């Protein structure tokens, strides 16, 4: 057991848990944050994506120990932002959500990318989504949604 302290969606918390727990399980099982999903459990699909210090990481590959002292934002926290609202609207308008399993991860990937590159080309969007799989949409709608959010949300990122 170890005491691990971090901020989760702006709130500082300390947990006394096994440091070798996957952070994905900590979020889902201990903290009741089920927005991050388990797809592959091996870093290949991006369903478990979260923002660690503002940048996308795969929470299935992250042991709890590594989160100590860091800042975590999950889709639950990101939902509260204007940028999320813009992405959500664009995803709906472009039909970028079908079963929805990949969607939280796609939004996190989009946020991580747009933060650094507010005006990405399609190629750059694809590069930013390289770690996120979608079985349903064939990606084009997701790319269109991100392109639309970047355009309509100019100034937000």
Partner 1 sequence: MRHIIPKTYREALEHLKSGSLHILAGGTDLMVQNRAWSETPVAFKKDTLYVYNLEELRYIEREGDMLHVGALASYDMLERHPDTPSALKRCIALLASPGLRRVATLAGNIGNASPAADGVLVLYALDARVVLDSADATREIPIEEAITGPGRTAFEDGEMIREIRIPLEDFDSERFKKVGGRKADAISKVSFLGAAAFDGDVIKDLRLALGAVNTTVVRRREIEAQYQGLTAADLKARSQEIREAYAPYVRPIDDQRSTATYRRQVALNLIEDYIHSL
Ligand X SMILES: Cc1cc2nc3c(=O)[nH]c(=O)nc-3n(C[C@H](O)[C@H](O)[C@H](O)COP(=O)(O)OP(=O)(O)OC[C@H]3O[C@@H](n4cnc5c(N)ncnc54)[C@H](O)[C@@H]3O)c2cc1C
Residues that bind partner 1 (CB under 8 A): 2, 18-22, 25, 28-29, 38, 41-44, 46, 49, 52, 55-58, 60-63, 65-66, 68-70, 109, 112-113, 127-128, 130-132
- Does 29 bind ligand FES (CB under 6 A)? Our answer is no
Angle at 55 between CA 49 and CA 59, to 5 degrees: 30
Beta bridge pairs of residue 2: 17
44 binds ligand X (CB under 6 A): yes
C-alpha of 86 from chain center: 15
Give yes or no for residue 67 binding ligand FES (CB under 6 A).
no
Distance of CA 65 to the CA centre of its chain: 20
Residue 93 CB, nearest distance to partner 1 (Å)? Answer: 25
Q: How far apart are CA 127 and CA 16, in angstroms?
A: 37
CA dihedral 13, 36, 29, 17 (to 10 degrees): -40
93 binds, among ligand FES, ligand X, partner 1, none (CB under 5 to 8 A by kind): none
Site residues, ligand X (CB under 6 A): 42-44
Contact residues: ligand FES, CB under 6 A: 38-41, 43-48, 58, 60, 97-102, 134-137
């Amino acid at each position: 057991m170890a005491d691990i302290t971090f901020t989760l969606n702006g709130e500082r918390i300390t947990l006394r848990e096994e440091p070798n727990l996957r952070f994905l399980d900590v979020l889902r099982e201990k903290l009741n944050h089920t927005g991050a999903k388990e797809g592959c459990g091996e870093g290949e699909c991006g369903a478990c994506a979260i923002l660690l210090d503002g940048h996308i990481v795969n929470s299935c590959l992250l042991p709890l120990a590594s989160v100590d002292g860091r800042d975590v934002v999950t889709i639950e926290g990101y939902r509260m932002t204007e940028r999320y609202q813009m992405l959500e609207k664009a995803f709906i308008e472009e039909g970028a959500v079908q079963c929805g399993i990949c969607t939280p991860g796609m939004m996190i990937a989009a946020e991580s990318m747009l933060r650094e590159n507010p005006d990405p080309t399609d190629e750059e969007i694809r590069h930013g989504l390289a770690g996120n799989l979608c079985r349903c949409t064939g990606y084009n709608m997701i790319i269109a949604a991100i392109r639309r959010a970047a355009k309509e949300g100019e100034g937000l990122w």
